[in-house]
Amino acid sequence: MSKLPPPPPPSPRNQPRRGGAPRGSSPDRPGGMPRWAIWALAAGVLALFVGPRLWPTQAATDLSYTEFLQMVEEGKVDSVTINNISNVISGELADGSRFTTTGATVLSDADEQLLKAKGVDYDYATPTGNFFTNMIPLLLPFLLLMGFFIWMQRRAMGQAGSIMSIGRSKAKSYDADKPSTTFADVAGYAGVKQEIKEVVDFLRMPERFKEIGARVPKGILLVGPPGTGKTLFARAVAGEAGVGFLSVTGSDFMEMFVGVGASRVRDLFQQASKMGRAIIFVDEIDSIGRKRGAGLGGGHDEREQTLNQMLAEMDGFEATEGIVVMAATNRPDILDPALLRPGRFDRQIIVPLPEAEERLAILRVHSGGKRMGKDVDLDTMARATPGMSGADLANLVNEAALFAVRRGSTHIERIDFENARDRVVLGASRESLILNAEEKRATAYHEGGHAVLATVLPHSDPLHKVTILPRGMALGVTWTLPEERHTYSREYFEDVICKAMGGRVAEKIVFGHLNSGAANDLEQATNIARRMVREWGMSESVGPMAFAGQQQVFLGEDLMSSGREYSDETARTIDAEISRILREQEERARTVLQQHRRGLDLVAQALLDHETIDGAMVSRLVQQGLGSPSRAGDDRGTLPNS
Neighbours of 449 (CB within 10 A): 33
Please give the Cα distance from 315 to 402 (Å, whole number). Answer: 50
Q: Which residues contact 519 (CB under 8 A, 6 or more apart)?
A: none
* Cβ(283)–Cβ(247) below 8 Å: yes
Please give the Cα distance from 5 to 120 (Å, whole number). Answer: 114
What type of residue sits at position 11?
Answer: S
Q: Tell me the CB-side half-sphere exposure of residue 39, using CA atoms within 13 A.
A: 3
Phi, psi of 214 (to 5 degrees): -80, 140
Q: Which residues contact 485 (CB under 8 A, 6 or more apart)?
A: none
Please give the Cα distance from 142 to 168 (Å, whole number). Answer: 40
Please give the Cα distance from 499 to 515 (Å, whole number). Answer: 18
The pairs formed by 238-241 with CB atoms below 8 angstroms and a separation of 24 or more are 238/16, 238/174, 238/180, 238/181, 238/279, 238/281, 239/179, 239/180, 239/181, 239/182, 240/182, 240/183, 240/197, 240/200, 241/176, 241/200, 241/203, 241/204, 241/279
What type of residue sits at position 430?
Answer: R
Q: What are the start-end ranges of the E strands in 48-127?
A: 60-62, 77-83, 88-93, 98-102, 121-125
Phi, psi of 169 (to 5 degrees): -70, 145
Please give the Cα distance from 280 to 440 (Å, whole number). Answer: 58
Neighbours of 193 (CB within 10 A): 16
* Cβ(340)–Cβ(348) below 8 Å: yes
Q: Would you state the torsion angle of the CA atoms of residues 214, 215, 216, 219, taken in this order, to the nearest 10 degrees?
A: -150
Please give the Cα distance from 477 to 483 (Å, whole number). Answer: 19
- The residues that are catalytic are 447
Which one-letter DSSP state was computed for residue 573? H
Please give the Cα distance from 476 to 429 (Å, whole number). Answer: 10
Q: Tell me the CB-side half-sphere exposure of residue 79, using CA atoms within 13 A.
A: 7
* Cβ(247)–Cβ(171) below 8 Å: yes
What DSSP element (H or E) covers 591?
A: helix 568-595
Please give the Cα distance from 412 to 402 (Å, whole number). Answer: 9
What DSSP element (H or E) covers 466?
A: strand 463-467
Q: Tell me the CB-side half-sphere exposure of residue 332, using CA atoms within 13 A.
A: 17
SS3 124: strand
